[in-house]
Amino acid sequence: MATDGMNRRQFIRVSGAAAAVTATGIEGIIAARQAPAYAQGTKLHIVRWVDFIPEADVELKRQAPEASKALGAEVTFEFINANDVQPRITAAIQSGAGADLFFMMYNWPQLYQSSLVDVSDVAGAVAKEQGGFYGVFEPSFRVGGKWLGMPHSIVGNAVAYRKSWFKEVGFEQFPDTWDGVRKAAAALKKKGRPWGQTLGHTFGDAPTWAYPLLWSFGGAETDKTGKKVALNSKGTVESIKWMQAFWKDGCDEGGLAWDDTNNNRAFHAGEISASLNGASIYIVAKRKKDQIKDDKGEPMFQDIDHALYPFKGGPGQYPLYFSNGHAVMKYSKNQKLAKDFLRWLHKKENFEKWFQVNEGYSVAAAKSWEKHGMWAKVDKPLKMFQTAARNTRIFGYAGPSTGKATEAFSKYIIVDMYAKAVQGMKAEDAVKWAAGELKKIYEG
């Protein structure tokens, strides 16, 4: 008997495929050689940031029809400004309607924990298959033993610098200590080539500079319990004093008003000699080599190299990178489909294409990708990103990275502690101010 254009055999085949998918997820889809039976017209809406590497978004857009075909539902990506992602998430959660999957950064799953679906099954399988996730994801994406965010990638950052300019002031190699960097920056600023560093209210370059600076001098926001503020310490004061000297002697003081794109533009325009950034300064300079040139008219990317940040000379070197991923929203009617999509996205052959386009700007969340063949082919300045994600910390240190840590982060308290100090506030007073603000959050 045929009903609505489907005969008995077809019905059994489709329902069998659906059962296989229910039981085995993406493997089931592949085994059944057929898309799962989601209702006709089912759409999966994913909101992500606009990547600093435009080709990465192009690759995801290219993959969308492939995912649609594999999953039997229409997969659509929406790319929005990174600063607008959180407002969109908040509006979606409060109204109970919006995208099925949202891009997550830092420790956002902690903040939105009551509105996110447990994706431990997907995360567990991917972690097992791909060598486990980097340590930073455990405190930031895992809540109460459940993965509420699916780790996807890490954007590492490093100091992009002009090799020839550093050589001109006597540094054949990049000075890798705090003291050495300050001396080099001072010499370069005297030649009208300052270091460019933002201390503005921006989500990327300012906190990824300020937190590691604090940690690497031995400072911490709280003690291990996360309930007692421990900021006012010798290490924190020392880090501020270093920053004050570094800023005055070596930095472009306009950095106080920079967002995450100003340093890229200033670097490419030859206005600054070095800046903490992702690999995008190098990658964009290389991809636009006919437009971005140095003072001799040569492609600028040939004169760019990367150095590890934070520098040596303190008790340790602990960076803060973007720990990125996706979360399935509880209000979504397509939760199962969303999980199937994550499985599809993280399949080696799919993820690999996106991973390679990034050339190290974004590295994988799982460790086995350190061994990928791409690393043998990338340019020398990009090789350092291969293992850069290993030591990453997340804010809230030394306590857990809870919603309170996010509050301190989004109030820019640590960033502003340094910003106030470089504008003339005494180091001890800046620490006192910041500790007072942190106490209202962590101990209030």
Q: Which is nearer to other proteins, 65 or 87 (CB)?
A: 87
Distance, in Å, from the CA atom of 247 to the CA atom of 182, rounded to the nearest integer, reads: 9
Q: Which is nearer to other proteins, 222 or 406 (CB)?
A: 406
Look up residue 266 and give its two tokens.
């200033």
Give min distance, CB of 182 to other proteins, in A.
20
Q: In angstroms, how far is CA 42 from the centroid of its own chain?
A: 30
Sign of dihedral through CA atoms 414, 415, 417, 418?
positive
Is residue 221 within 8 A of residue 399, CB to CB? The reply is yes
Distance, in Å, from the CA atom of 162 to the CA atom of 183, rounded to the nearest integer, reads: 16
Distance, in Å, from the CA atom of 25 to the CA atom of 22, rounded to the nearest integer, reads: 6
For 430, half-sphere exposure in the C-beta direction (CA atoms, 13 angstrom radius) is 25
Is residue 340 within 8 A of residue 21, CB to CB? The reply is yes
User: Amino acid letter at 138?
Assistant: E
Give DSSP secondary structure letters for 27-39.
Answer: HHHHHHTS---PP
User: Amino acid letter at 362?
Assistant: S
Give min distance, CB of 92 to other proteins, in A.
10
Q: Which is nearer to other proteins, 71 or 105 (CB)?
A: 105
Please give the residue ranges that form the binding site for other proteins (CB under 8 A). Answer: 86-87, 89-90, 93-94, 111-115, 199-202, 252-259, 262, 265-266, 269, 271, 403, 406-407, 410-412, 416, 419-420, 423, 433, 436-437, 440, 444
Among candidates 77, 112, 71, which has minimal Cα distance to 336? 71
Distance, in Å, from the CA atom of 52 to the CA atom of 205, rounded to the nearest integer, reads: 13
Q: Which is nearer to other proteins, 216 or 262 (CB)?
A: 262
Give min distance, CB of 107 to other proteins, in A.
12
Give min distance, CB of 90 to other proteins, in A.
5
Distance, in Å, from the CA atom of 288 to the CA atom of 120, rounded to the nearest integer, reads: 41
Give min distance, CB of 419 to other proteins, in A.
4
Q: Which is nearer to other proteins, 291 or 387 (CB)?
A: 291
Look up residue 403 and give its two tokens.
């919603």
Give min distance, CB of 201 to other proteins, in A.
4
Distance, in Å, from the CA atom of 306 to the CA atom of 224, rounded to the nearest integer, reads: 33
Q: Which is nearer to other proteins, 115 or 350 (CB)?
A: 115
Give min distance, CB of 286 to other proteins, in A.
22
Give min distance, CB of 184 to other proteins, in A.
21
Q: Which is nearer to other proteins, 175 or 250 (CB)?
A: 250
Q: Which is nearer to other proteins, 176 or 407 (CB)?
A: 407
Q: Which is nearer to other proteins, 6 or 91 (CB)?
A: 91
Give DSSP secondary structure letters for 156-199.
Answer: --EEEEEHHHHHHTT-SS---BHHHHHHHHHHHHHTT--B----
Report the length, in residues, of the chain: 444
Give min distance, CB of 62 to other proteins, in A.
31
